[in-house]
Structure 1
């Protein structure tokens, strides 16, 4: 018997997955040329809040922003990053909805979750984490009948990156 592909919830929350890092920037649509731009943290971070840059290697667009707040629209079909409000680059129509990801790590998490036949959430001392990204995914992504379509869409998104 072939073992089922498993996904164990790492309790990754949606705020950490959407925070750009040097190694995994948020990928957005450049407001100047409509090609891929990257949002990454500035070198000198304030004690509170966020200091980030967005830049596009295609046209040279660049902008810096410091903020204490971020806005999220998690169930939007036209998602934006939480700091500049720019449209996400990793976005594709799927199952009558918009499938999107902030970055590579988010895309990998979505693929690993949706392609798994067995999805596990473990309870810890305080109980189940309702803030984990997998617990907050829309039902159409979680639905087993959409598994092949969602994983195919994620594969297409991976191809537009490279």
Structure 2
């Protein structure tokens, strides 16, 4: 008899749930740093245009602690290429969600007629990530990305 399938139930998360903080490359030393977008909006001076959220980059390696007024963020730390495409995640929680989805042989979500979000984060993943034939390669890439965080 075959083993029981590993189940994954879609929690209904969207990319917006993870984008407020991210692991990024430090602009100064090119090591891992933490990026955070605060909920506060700084008011701009007259003639500067629209107000933007305040963002912060903190690096433990070189001691960089920079507050920026803008929406730009340094490149993500958790990104890796496969032969099918680019795989990326904002932080370890986002990476863990993708890993649980890819590793599952039985993927469940709420019925389409239920109220709530329809296009969740896992529903928007590229088709090559969802395919069972690419599962081993994607899981190896995810494990390699996770190791790059824990090794530092």
Q: Does 1:46 align with 2:47?
A: no
Q: Distance in 1 between matches of 2:116 and 2:56?
A: 38
Instruction: Within 5 Å, give how 1:119-138 maps onto structure 2.
Output: 119-123=107-111, 125-126=114-115, 129-130=118-119, 132-138=120-126
Runs of 5+ in structure 2 lacking a partner? 43-51
**Superposition RMSD in Å:** 2.1
Deviations 1:54-76 (A, max 9, x none): 01111222221345xxxxxxxxx
CA deviation after TM superposition for structure 1 residue 40, in Å: 2.8
Q: Does 1:93 align with 2:81?
A: yes
Runs of 5+ in structure 1 lacking a partner? 21-25, 68-82
| TM value normalised by structure 1 | 0.76
Report how many aligned residue pairs link the two structures: 139
**Gap change, CA 1:58 and 1:47, over 3 Å in 2:** closer
Q: Distance in 2 between matches of 1:115 and 1:100?
A: 16
Equivalence for 2:94: 106
| TM value normalised by structure 2 | 0.81
Q: Distance in 2 between matches of 1:47 and 1:34?
A: 28
